[in-house]
Amino acid sequence: MSKRVLIIEDEPNIIEAISFILARDGWHVDSHSNGHDAVSVVQARAPDLVILDVMLPGRSGYEILTDLRAQPETRDLPVLMLTARGQARDRELAERAGASRFMTKPFSNADVIEALNALVVR
């Protein structure tokens, strides 16, 4: 059975790159590119894992994650947060919002695969 991931990211080149490496690793990949309705998209698609960008049009990844953690059906959903800014403050905000893991851009393909596989095993 393939693992299903939803990428919530607004940069097409990042969506394409992550989709390619994950599909090659056996993942079924969906993507969504705005923050306005991201929570309802996560609930509708029910992925095994979410890759969530911090800076999105409409709402921030932190706001989306806070909403996901407030819902019983998505409270324990593994979420890997991506950000172009890797300052300690960003990491703290991600942890406070409930991120399972935090990764800064640019990242290596191997790091993404390792992080996701570790998150679905837990």
Domain CATH for 68? 3.40.50.2300
Q: Is there a contact between 24 and 50 (Cβ–Cβ < 8 Å)? A: no
pTM of the predicted protein model = 0.94
33's CB contacts (< 8 A; 6+ apart) are 8, 9, 10, 12, 15, 56, 57
Number of domains present in the structure of the chain:
1
Q: How confident is the model at residue 122 (pLDDT cuts 50, 70, 90)?
A: low
CB atoms within 10 A of CB 43: 14
Each residue's pLDDT tens digit, 67-106? 999 999 999 999 999 988 778 888 899 999 999 999 998 8
Domain that holds residue 40: 3-121
Each residue's pLDDT tens digit, 33-79? 999 999 999 999 999 999 999 999 999 999 999 999 999 999 999 99
75/27 Cα distance (integer angstroms): 22
**Which helix (H) or strand (E) segment is 60 a member of?**
none
Range list of H helices, 1-122:
12-24, 38-45, 61-70, 88-97, 109-121
